[in-house]
Amino acid sequence: MKTTTFVLLLWVFSTIQIMGQENEMETWGVVYNSVGNLRAEPRHAAEMVTQVLLGMPVRILEQKGGWRRVETPEGYFGWISGSVHPLADAGRKHYLAGAKVIVTLLHTRSYAEADETAPPVTDLVAGNMLELISADEGYYRVRYPDGRNAYVRKTDAEEVTDWLKGVKLTGESIVQTARQLLGIPYLWGGTSVKGMDCSGFTKQVYWMHGVILPRDASQQACYGRLVDEGGELSDALPGDLLFFGSKATEGEDEKVVHVGIYLGERQFIHASDYVRINSFDPADPLYDAFNTNRYLYTRRMIGEEQGEGMEELLSNAFYH
């Protein structure tokens, strides 16, 4: 009887250890597709709530069949099918410690050999990150989180350390990056150059400057420094974020439902049907009466990116 009890206890202890190891293995993950779609529920027909980019660390919270519920670096949650390579925390730290390259071109691809006539390995989009294995005159040799090796043209990417040193977070640079996204279609839940919603657009623009913005317009509106709320825009500068929605009333709270980037001269760029430029000026052919009438205020993010919720890339807990 004592032997049976001992064996039973040993089995229980071993099972707990194995479960603990399995749970540890699924604590973290890294995205291995160029773009991964997160949904509100673990099914393909559910609403897409956001996207994650290749090389992005995520925290794995739950698993149902082939779906994982994950948390993104900016604290957003959703379900993803595939696209994530699970890691223990030690594996995540090892991954983060290695050299990386970041894709700086809007769209490109990686190749099976250091030759652009070679078969492609995957597509790549702006903001994707890959482990750097080596570099020669024209190509980076890289490794994906799921172990695949490939080559990326040096003209399409940059070593992350050099990229971060060279990033100039200025209004002019924000505007220049935003203009490169003109014409990209609106996509609810999109945060990549494959398609983006209004806050996904602003998030992508700042991401390409090494800054992680909150996911939604209503969340982004909680950060930065207020510089205008009357619509005069006399203190607004290029690169500031403009917020739109409905003002608070006696029976209703303020609702922020849209965001764009100020260009100067009373013009702004935003994702609405597609990334486009509009104006607050009725005399401008680009005048947008609808958004002019629901304008709320302008906030300056540049110089304010040091706190929790809006952070420089390497200050985020998921990246160190």
Encode pLDDT of 8-28 as tens digits: 444 434 444 434 444 444 599
Residue 270 annotated to the active site: yes
CA 107 to chain centre: 16
- pLDDT given for residue 22 in this prediction: 41
Phi and psi at residue 89, to the nearest 5°: -60, -35
Per-residue pLDDT at 14: 42
* Cβ atoms of 194 and 33 closer than 8 Å: no
Secondary-structure breakdown of the chain: helix, strand, coil percentages, each rounded to the nearest 5: 25, 40, 40
The C-alpha atoms of residue 83 and residue 38 are separated, in whole angstroms, by: 10
**Catalytic one among 44, 85, 94, 198?**
198
Say which of 44, 85, 107, 258 is annotated catalytic.
258
Report CA-CA distances (Å) from 88 to 26, 115, 194: 6, 35, 30
Domain 171-319 matching CATH 3.90.1720.10: the answer reads: yes
CA distance 318 to 145: 15
Q: Catalytic pick from 44, 85, 94, 270?
A: 270
- The domain at 98-160 falls in which architecture? Roll (2.30)
- Spell out the per-residue pLDDT of the chain, length 320, in tens: 434 444 344 443 444 443 444 444 459 999 999 999 999 999 999 999 999 999 999 999 999 999 999 999 999 999 999 999 999 999 999 999 999 999 999 999 999 999 999 999 999 999 999 999 999 989 999 999 999 999 999 999 999 999 999 999 999 999 999 999 999 999 999 999 999 999 999 999 999 999 999 999 999 999 999 999 989 999 999 999 999 999 999 889 999 999 999 999 999 999 999 999 999 999 999 999 999 999 999 999 998 866 667 899 999 999 98
In DSSP terms, 258 is beta-bridged to 244
Q: Where are the alpha helices (DSSP H) in 55-170?
A: 89-97, 160-166
* Tokens, residue 13: 């202890």
Nearest to 276 by CA among 212, 201, 215: 201
Query: What sign results for the dihedral spanned by CA atoms 253, 259, 261, 267?
Result: negative
222 is catalytic: no
Q: Position of tokens 């049907």?
A: 273
Give the chain's end-to-end CA distance (angstroms, integer): 51
Topology alike, domains 15-89 and 171-319? no
Distance CA 83, CA 85 (A): 7
User: Is 15-89 assigned to CATH 1.20.990.10?
Assistant: no
Contact in structure between 158 and 126 (CB atoms under 8 Å)? no
pTM for the complete prediction? Answer: 0.90
Residue 311 CB partners (closer than 8 Å, separation 6+): 211, 212, 305
d(CA 239, CA 251): 33
What is the arrangement of strands in the sheet containing 149-153, beginning at the earlier edge strand? 120-125, 107-111, 149-153, 139-143, 129-135, 100-103, 157-159
pLDDT of residue 142: 98
Does the active-site annotation cover 258? yes
What region does 147 belong to: left with phi over 0, alpha with psi -120 to 50, or beta?
left
Helices 198-207 and 171-180: crossing angle in degrees, nearest 10, is 120
The pLDDT assigned to 320 comes to 83
Domain ranges of the chain: 15-89, 98-160, 171-319
At 266 the three-state DSSP class reads: coil
pLDDT of residue 310: 82
How many angstroms from the chain centroid is the CA of residue 287? 30
Q: How many residues does the chain have?
A: 320
pLDDT score for 224: 93
pLDDT reported for residue 303: 87
Question: Would you call 3 exposed, middle or buried from its count of C-beta atoms within 10 A (0-12, 13-18, 19+)?
Answer: exposed
Give pLDDT, residue 250: 85
